[in-house]
Amino acid sequence: MAKRIYFIDGAFREKPISSVEDRGMFFADSIYEVVRAKNGEPLFLKEHLKRLEQGLREIRITPPLHPEELEKIIRKSLKKLNSQEASIYIQITRGKEPRSHLPQKKTKPSVIIITSEFKPLPRKLFSKGVSLMMHPDIRWGRCDIKTTMLLPNVLGKIEAHEAGYFDTLFYKNGVVTESTSSSFFGIIEGALYTHPEDNNILPSITREKVIEITRSLHIEVIEQAINVEAIEKLEGAFLAGTTYDILPVNKIENVSVPISETVKMVQTEYQKLLDRLSKRSQNAHLKN
């Protein structure tokens, strides 16, 4: 089992002990983030913490810690873990109290941070691509809030694996939204399409970086949902996320999707961005 560092409610702990009477457990009354780290540097940390704070305010939880305090805890966790590749899971719940739909105003939010060794997906998937199955998007109407209410996502992942696919691609009102745990991009007539930011998708940080990279390559980016019927027209497609990076798609249901040069270019440039960020951190540590 991969090494893990636990920080729960103000202290580092050897075991993940927490109360069963937690609103995160009863009602998924909580917000979470997953941050990647390379060479001890948490990538895009400020963007993740900003989205975490926005999510907490959306569900009316007062942030229990300032972003700078969270950053200190995360960096201390990474030092304790001492791993080249790491993932940091941050979850803030409304707190511990006897089960009731109406929360008590005095309840103090709980903070859980789990830092663990990260093992990337097999390298062959980044060259050969992965397959996706289609499924109606039955998630709640505020997918833009990163809550732990992920049962439809979990079921989508299970059904995909049982059917021999890598993941599920959700669709709603005749258009593609996203996968169970990442953003979806498709190439049609040379342009890169992705669902616009609204309540139907998560405002992914990797998605934002991909759009910036693609535009820097002078490739047209169109933030417009892809019709399900247009999947047959795809000249390339990929998933983008914190734990996936840029993962090519080679098949959606019975439709084969080529791994285009555009996909490879975005992969290369995104990896360069991650390398620059981690090297910048290493240089800063050497100077200090």
Active site positions, annotated: 146
Distances from the Cα of 162 to the Cαs of 90, 102, 167, 168, 243, in angstroms? 29, 38, 10, 11, 22
**Residue 90: beta bridge partners?**
33, 113
Residues 131 and 156: their CA atoms lie apart, in Å, by 14
Report the alpha-carbon distance of residue 175 to residue 240 in Å, rounded. Answer: 18
Is residue 126 within 8 A of residue 267, CB to CB? The reply is yes
DSSP 254: T
Residue 95 · residue 107 · CB < 8 Å? yes
User: Which residues have a Cβ under 8 Å from the Cβ of 86 and sit 6 or more positions away?
Assistant: 36, 37, 78, 115, 116, 117, 118
DSSP state of 196: P
CA distance 217 to 214: 5
Distance CA 243, CA 50 (A): 19
The CA-to-CA distance between both ends of the chain, in Å, stands at 34
